[in-house]
Structure 1
Amino acid sequence: MTSTDTDDITALENTTLNDLLAMDNTYCTRLQIRTKLLNQEHHEVIACNPEAVPAVQELYEWLMGTYLPQRFPSLYRITESGKHLRNHVTDTLIPLHMPNGEEALEILAFVNCFPSGFNTRSKLGQLLADIHAPVPGYAAKLEKSMDRFFANLPVGKIVKRSNWSISTNGELFCLEGNHMSEEEMQRKQEVEDVEDVDLNKSVVRCERQTLHRLPKTGALVFAFKLDSANENKTYQYPLRELRDEGSGQVLAEAIDGLRLGSVPAMTIYKRQVVWGDKVKAFLRGEIDA
């Protein structure tokens, strides 16, 4: 092998690595987790209503035939036959067309493998207001404006927002336990149920949400992904790590901000009334785990 050949291979490897890092440096490990969940928790993580099949097909064909090979050309390439997309990370061939909606979503991994304390299956087919019914203040403050926003979102506009929450179990796949109702809190108080908070498992979970409208079917695509606050693409930050890097006080103030907002009941819904005091004391260095 000549030095030129070696240089070409090195350049290709570097390009592939750069593309992989640009996309997500946890891609391989998270793909393994998703595959396991699809096998073990299939009913909970994936579903497709029959009326959504055309929209799923439109999204699938755009992602496979246009977005992935153009955005990450060293990771995804359309084969010479023009019938498949080759994933060079997993060395698999993916059909460019998939008539079955559920299979298309499964191939895309466009599934809800990492819910944060709610069961997506229970939300299937519901209206936006019904989905958000447990959220304090939604009906009074947000429902009408959100309905208008969703109805008027034009093709070509992508909306992105980020949020954060505290998870005291650190689990990526979590169907319950991260939210609480006022009735549940009252029951806990009546029986003096004091929940132990394991600070070594507790993390800050960052999530990126995107919304856009498909041009052909007009369907809205809502996606959420565990997001990163830095280029290392870490999605769950251990509390100790944040405290040690000097961000503890800032996070503690942000936690206090939940009760100072326009909907104080968020402190119950997000279970701050359970973990808040202990987490804040830890972040401020007043106690240790």
Structure 2
Amino acid sequence: MALQSSSPEDLIVIDSNYKERVETRRKVMDGNPGTVMGTIGTPGAKAAVDELHAYLIDYLPKRYPSIFTKMLSSPPSLYNAATGKTIASTPPANPLDALRILGETVEDDLFLLQEESIQTVPDDGGPAYPDTSHRLVAFLCCFPAGFDPSSKLGLLLKDIHKPVPSYDKIGPSMERFFKRLAVGQSVRRLNWSVQTHKTLFVPRGNHVHEGDEVEHDADVDISQTCLRVECQTLTRLPVTKAILFSFKTYLFPVQDLKNEGVGPDLADAIEGLKEGNAPSMWTYKGGVRWGKSVCEYLRS
């Protein structure tokens, strides 16, 4: 079967390190299957995984026609020119196999949440939660930034975020926001942190939790230190109505950022973690360990 033709402009629509990233993801899945993917094993969870699989099989050749091509074979399939792999258009019977296929095809990490009724907690003076919440029913996460994604499976949104400082202040509004998210609507935000290494698979270590032993103001190897950015997206799937929370991870060496002239601005943002309505975010994101060294370098 001949591949679709593509123009030179098509060749720049996917990141240049795409092949390297998906190969890294394959190795992570091989070595840590129980950590990086899972489902709660219900028909609803499988239906959400199958819908996501079908959506991406349809979307990818439209968005990246120089990379992905629909093959009119029997059964129909999708050819990935970057990796040389062909995958079936129909999702496999086991949703874990479907998640693995997606993990070898896209760089984004994928979390599927389904809304359900809950028993509201009696008012204790804090914000009142709505009578529904969203439960994590399936996930594929090769590049966690300091948490074990398997520990979140089956939890409600508020319990997933228990370690996050001051989440209780915004938890009810987050639930209402998730509930209002409409099919066809996507919401995007950026989340950032600093890490003193270039590892993408970090199931522990980036965050500082209460009781952790911490070396305050440690000297760090600036050559290995990066700004880690997640481009996060929320989307509601049209059939199952599950919410897809996905994110793509970028690593920017702080040396490059300083050379680009944004060092002082980044230092100000890092120190700003101590302020605002969640000052403990400074500790949670590890600023107590690397903040002094990194900010001094960025302003030097």
Give the TM bin, normalised by the shorter chain.
Answer: 0.7 to 0.9
Residue identity (%): 42
Of 253, 259, 263, which residue of structure 2 is paired with 1:238? 253
Q: Is 2:248 the counterpart of 1:254?
A: no
Pairing 1:199–2:222 present: yes
Partner of 2:35: 44
Secondary structure at the counterpart of residue 13 of structure 2: helix
Contact (CA 8 Å) 1:202, 1:239: kept in 2 or not?
A: yes
Question: 1:109-120 maps to which residues of 2 (within 5 A)?
Answer: 109=103, 110=110, 111-120=140-149
**Does residue 1:70 correspond to 2:62, yes or no?**
yes
SS of equivalent to 2:72: coil
Following superposition, the deviation at residue 74 of structure 1 comes to: 2.6
- Separation in structure 2 between the aligned mates of residue 48 and residue 56 of structure 1, nearest angstrom: 9
Query: Is residue 216–residue 288 contact of structure 2 (8 Å, CA) maintained in 1?
Result: no
How far does the alpha carbon of each residue in 1:222-257 deviate from its partner, in whole angstroms, 9 at most, with x for none?
10111xxxxxxxx21111111122111111111111
How many Å apart are 1:196 and its aligned residue? Answer: 4.0
Report Cα offsets for 1:200-240 as digits up to 9, x if no partner. Answer: 211101110011111111111110111xxxxxxxx211111
Deviation string 1:8-39 (CA, Å, 9 cap, x unpaired) is x9x95753xx4353122211100110111111
5+ residue gaps in structure 2?
Answer: 104-109, 111-139
- The alignment status of 1:267 with 2:282, answered yes or no, reads yes
Structure-2-length-normalised TM-score? 0.81
Question: Separation in 1 of the partners of 2:157 and 2:219?
Answer: 34
Shift of 1:49: 2.1
Q: Counterparts in 2 of 1:167-178, with a 5 A limit?
A: 167-178=195-206
Residue 87 in 1 paired to residue 80 in 2?
yes
Per the alignment, residue 135 of structure 2 pairs with: none
SS in 1 for 2:141: coil
Name the CA distance, whole Å, in 1 between partners of 2:210 and 2:30: 35
Match of 1:5 in 2: none
| CA contact 1:182–1:268 (8 Å) conserved in 2 | no
Structure ranking higher in strand proportion = 2
Does residue 56 in structure 1 map to residue 85 in structure 2? no
Which residue of the other structure, out of 170, 177, 180, is the alignment partner of 1:149?
A: 177
Q: What SS class does the counterpart of residue 47 from structure 1 fall into?
A: strand
Alpha-carbon contact 2:6-2:65 (below 8 Å) kept: no
Q: How high is the TM-score relative to the length of structure 1?
A: 0.84
Matched AA of 2:236: R
Contact 2:185 2:236 in 1 (8 A): yes
Measured in 2, the distance between the counterparts of 1:61 and 1:194 equals 48
**Counterpart pick for 2:99 among 92, 102, 105:** 105
1:25 has 2:16 as partner = yes
Q: Structure 1's 194 and 258: CA in aligned 2 closer, same or farther, altered over 3 A?
A: closer
Report the equivalent of 1:231.
none
Unaligned runs of 5+ in 1: 1-8, 227-234
Counterpart Cα distance in 2 of 1:200 and 1:91: 34
Partner deviation per Cα, 1:129-176 (whole Å, 9 max, x = no partner): 11100111001x111001111122111111111121101122111111
Q: Which runs of structure 2 are paired with 1:155-234 in the superposition (5 Å)? A: 155-184=183-212, 187-188=213-214, 195-226=218-249
- Inter-partner Cα distance in structure 2 for 1:94 and 1:181: 41
